[in-house]
Amino acid sequence: MGDIYFERKVAVVTGAGGKLCSVIAKHLAERGCYVVLIGRTFEKLKKTADSIHAVNGTCMIKTADVCDEKSLQKVADEVKEEWGSCRFLINGAGGNNNKAITTNYYFDPLELSDEKPEEMRGFFDLDMDIFESVVRTNTIGTVVPMRVFGKQMAAENAGAVINFASMNSYRPLTRVPAYAIAKAGIVNLTEFLAVYFANAGIRVNAVAPGFFINDRSIKILGSPEIGLTERGKSVIRQTPSGRFGNPEDLLGTIDWLLDDRLSAYVTGQTVAVDGGFQAHAGV
């Protein structure tokens, strides 16, 4: 349903081919935004674009690496020439890599043994190139879009940015050290950017989704349909709402944080959308 506040405003969504951001992109198009879909894989972006066209929304696809400032600047220039300056920026690109995840929850002496099981991947076994790529994608992949699209916002003295934090932003969950480093950094970066750009009319906030099922996390958590893993059962026990999140659960928070009519005095905040996960002490 259109909204005059959102109509014809340019909304840039990175990671727009992903499970969460594809739904956010479609929602913003339904609100009336002109949505720029950015990601590395055209086929995934095309699926998002098709869903937007199905509701008579307006979007354009731009394949780019969010860590490559030169290529992203080219995208920003093309967007501005065709539609005008970016007004909303959703920094959704990121994610984890299974090779940056340990198989064991705690140190096991077998990690140092010649008899270590082949399937075991401890902290000492992590591929550091992949580890670094996870940190880089989630952090530099947020900084670069802010630099190139933030210039347009600053020139217009108006803008709202939403970064993607995580439950890992509040405390390091077991098994995912690279992702924990990155998402803890996103909260700090969000606060820095909010302070730095306040006098440029740009508000910068973040959302911290709880546990949502996507193609990667289903391998670790399972799902109600195929059965939960032990880790998935643990997450549900820790979540007072008793379920995983649905992408639509994020939309109210996204609307609120983007809309100056509702959140003009809100900046530098990270808002958890987690079914109560972080509030639960576990006992």
Q: What is the pLDDT of residues 46-92, one digit of tens each?
A: 999 999 999 999 999 999 999 999 999 999 999 999 999 999 999 99
In tens, the pLDDT along 196-231 reads 999 999 999 999 999 998 877 888 899 888 889 889
Residues 144-148 have a mean pLDDT of 98
- What DSSP string runs through 109-145? GGGGSTT--TT---GGGS-HHHHHHHHHHHHHHHHHH
The answer to the question of residue 61 being in a domain is: yes
Q: Which residue has the tokens 């506040």?
A: 5
Q: Which two tokens stand for residue 147?
A: 């630099």
Q: Which domain holds residue 254?
A: 10-279
Is 3 among the domain residues? no
What pLDDT does 1 receive?
64
Say how many domains are in the chain: 1
Distant-in-sequence, close-in-space partners of 91: CB < 8 Å, separation ≥ 6 = 14, 15, 141, 142, 145, 146, 161, 162, 163, 164
196 counts as catalytic: no
Residue 48 lies in a domain: yes
Query: Residue 220's pLDDT is what?
Result: 83
What is the mean pLDDT of the segment spanning 94-106?
94
pLDDT over 90 at 3, yes or no: no
In a domain, 138, yes or no: yes
* Residue 219: predicted pLDDT: 81
Active-site entry in 5, 106, 170, 179 = 179
Predicted confidence at residue 176, as pLDDT, reads 95
Q: How far apart are CA 134 and CA 131, in angstroms?
A: 5
Mean pLDDT, the chain, integer: 96
> Does some domain include residue 258?
yes
Is 2 inside any structural domain?
no
233: CATH: 3.40.50.720
Bridge partners, residue 38, by sequence: 14, 62
Helices and strands counted in the chain (H then E)? 9, 9
- Which pLDDT belongs to residue 283? 79
225 or 239, greater pLDDT: 239
pLDDT at 260 over 80: yes
pTM of the complete model: 0.96
